[in-house]
Chain A
Amino acid sequence: MDEIKTVLTRGMGRRSLLQGLGVSAIGISITGLVGCSKESSGGKIASTGEEPTLNFYNWDTYIGETTLDDFKGASGIAVNMSLFASNDELFAKLRGGNQGYDVIVPSNDFVERMVSADMLMPLDHAQIPNFKNVAPEFQDVPFDPKRAYSMPYTWLLLGIGYRKSKVNPVPDSWKVLFDSDQYKGRIAVLSEAGDMFRLYGKYLGKSVNSLTPADIKTIEAMMIKQKPNIKAYHEDNGQDLLAKGEVDLVLEYNGDIAQAMVEDDDLDFFFPKEGSQLNADNLCIPKGAPHPKNAHALINYLLDAEAGKKITETILYPTPNAAAKALMPDTYKNNPVIFPPSEFLATCEYAKFNSELQPLYEEAFTRVRAA
């Protein structure tokens, strides 16, 4: 049995060696782990009247480097941030009940979906005075009238990232991805069925929210026709495909390409003339959150001008926080990839949550892939 024991105990050994090596923080984190559930909450109480902890469920690389520490310094509330990778995962997980999350960051259509499923807590605007920092166009949005359930965090737009040395002339339309063999085998598009169908709709001159089952049929046929020219349906990692030289044109969010452009001069991004789909990520409090007051405090802090500036410096996404944007350098404010011209923005729409069409999109896209 000895070697079984070896195998079994290696896990423990690995940990104790880590500790033995004095790797920083491990001892702390273990004691922290054991203690944090109850001990830290024992005596202390935050200014909000709740135990000074908070569970923040966020996307990766979606916060400033020191933001959470700064917040702890300002409020005494320790934030435990865990990460999710897609809206679908977030929704699927919270559908079964809230396991203890206080603040979550769903996108616009998921805010709608969660509100209609009664999964979000209405926000108390009195506890979020920094709402005044938000740019007016984000203070009242179609997916959440009067911001009853959500606060804006970032927004982003779908467009086309490309490699300058390989793409000539610079295209200006979705055609290059959706309806052309000019760059056969050198293009990648999203694998998210809903976004794909809506953008094809845009290319055909329709609103992203007015597609009919007949349109879905038409678009499905177009997708099948275009399929041989496409290298991959990527899982929102298009910027990597582009940076590695796997593809020369890719359908991606502007913020992602802006991040990749920092490291590669040969990359650029354009917004197709037909218009595009707007997305916005929002701060919300799920029903059943154990620390709703702390959650309001964090949301308020994230909307602060200075804190918002630090977050924006790290993630480089467009910010709806006007006060924070004002503090940013011109290289950010005037970056055409991050902030497209307002004429273009006028052609963009938020996708509405549509429980009827979503399964149809999904099934049609499954057929496209199987074709």
Chain B
Amino acid sequence: MAIFRTRAVAPLEYTRKAWMQMWVGATLLFLYAPLIVLMIFSFNDSKRNVVWKGFTFKYYEKALGNDSLVEALTNSLTIAFFATLFSLVLGALAAVMLWRFRFPLKGVVEGSISLPIIVPEICLGVAYLIFFARIDWPTGMAWPLNLSAITIAHITFCFPFVAMVVRSRLASFNKEEEEAAKDLGATEWQTFRDILLPHMKPGLIAGALLAFTLSLDDFVITFFTSGPETITFPVKVYSMVRFSVTPEVNAASTVLIVLTVVLTAIALKMQGVKAIAEVH
């Protein structure tokens, strides 16, 4: 792929075309305009987030001093981390299974794997409410084990998304490569690790981003699986803003956005860019 990078103006450099830049720019504006409004209103000196009343920092103090908000955020990130990790493994395995094998009842298995995407959230939430109550899932364990029920629920509705994305990626895999590797004496595991896994990578990245996003933002299912000690950020925020958004919530979100940007930038600078550049 090195050719593409050295060439000055290639026909494929869509990013340099004006219409493409405008298109992406407009999309980003659409995505970010509400966030900018949100950030501005976090400085609004009014209990209700409706009309501009003046500038203040006090809601930042309030948000950062709000133990339970910070605690909820910690819970959310922990759950999202584990849910993403497990979803990646399960989703990738499911994708490979469906892509590679022919087996009895395959249609049923495939249908069932896409079901968690289809089931209305509230229905799945109620199912978990009953399930965890019936099997007497232990509550009141020490952190982070007390988050296990929520994490299990999240993994279940996240991994089908990973499976779907990875599978669409696998469709392009050239199986001759795999066979060539095996002919050369590579074991099943070596072939998987060195040939298949690198090919799946963009699918895995996209899947991980999806799973992380879905888990971080889930309210309904989490609501039904959480207890008094295991409040997540969306559950907390949802009950706080159901009636009106307070600037305190906006301030907390702004802190979150800024931190995400800064940390992502640092992480990418340190390792991500290089790693990605090497692959392509």
Contacts and interface: CB of A to CB of B under 8 A. Distances in A.
Interface of A: 1-4, 6-15, 17-18, 23-26, 28-30, 32-34, 36-38, 55, 57, 59-61, 80-86, 89, 92-93, 95-97, 99-101, 235-237, 239-240, 243-244, 256, 259-260, 263-264
A83 B236 contact: yes
Contacts of B259: 14, 17-18
29 contacts: A2-B271, A3-B275, A4-B88, A7-B205, A7-B212, A8-B81, A8-B208, A11-B212, A14-B256, A15-B77, A18-B70, A18-B259, A25-B70, A30-B74, A37-B229, A60-B242, A61-B243, A83-B236, A83-B239, A89-B223, A92-B126, A93-B224, A99-B139, A99-B228, A237-B244, A239-B48, A240-B243, A244-B51, A260-B48
A3 B240 contact: no
A25 B77 CA distance: 17
Contacts of A4: 88, 204-205, 208
B206 to A, nearest CB: 10
B221 interface: no
A99 to B, nearest CB: 4
B218 interface: no
B276 interface: yes
B276 A3 contact: yes
A14 B275 contact: no
A128 B84 CA distance: 48
Contacts, number: 174
B77 A12 contact: yes
The 8 residue pairs across chains A and B that have the minimum distance between CB atoms: A83-B239, A2-B275, A55-B228, A85-B242, A11-B77, A99-B227, A96-B129, A97-B133
Given A8-B84, A240-B244, A32 B67 contact: yes
Given A2-B272, A15-B74, A100-B228, A83 B223 contact: no
Interface centre among A13, A59, A95 (most CB of B within 10 A): A13
Contact of A60 (B73, B141, B227, B240): B240
B101 to A, nearest CB: 25
A332 to B, nearest CB: 17
A36 B78 CA distance: 18
Nearest to A96: B129
A85 B231 CA distance: 14
Contacts of A83: 236, 239-240
A243 B48 contact: yes
B244 A239 contact: yes
Interface residues of B, number: 65
Contact of B71 (A1, A7, A29, A84): A29
Nearest to B75: A33
A37 B264 contact: no
B48 A240 contact: yes
Given A18-B259, A82-B228, A237 B142 contact: no
A25 B51 contact: no
A81 B228 CA distance: 8
A236 B243 CA distance: 6
Interface in B216-234: 223-224, 226-229, 231
Contacts of A101: 228
A61 B47 CA distance: 11
Contacts of A26: 70, 74
Contacts of B209: 7
A351 B226 CA distance: 31
Given A3-B205, A10-B267, A29-B71, A93 B242 contact: no
Given A3-B275, A85-B238, A93-B129, A34 B142 contact: yes
A366 B201 CA distance: 46
A82 B232 CA distance: 11
Contacts of B51: 243-244, 263-264
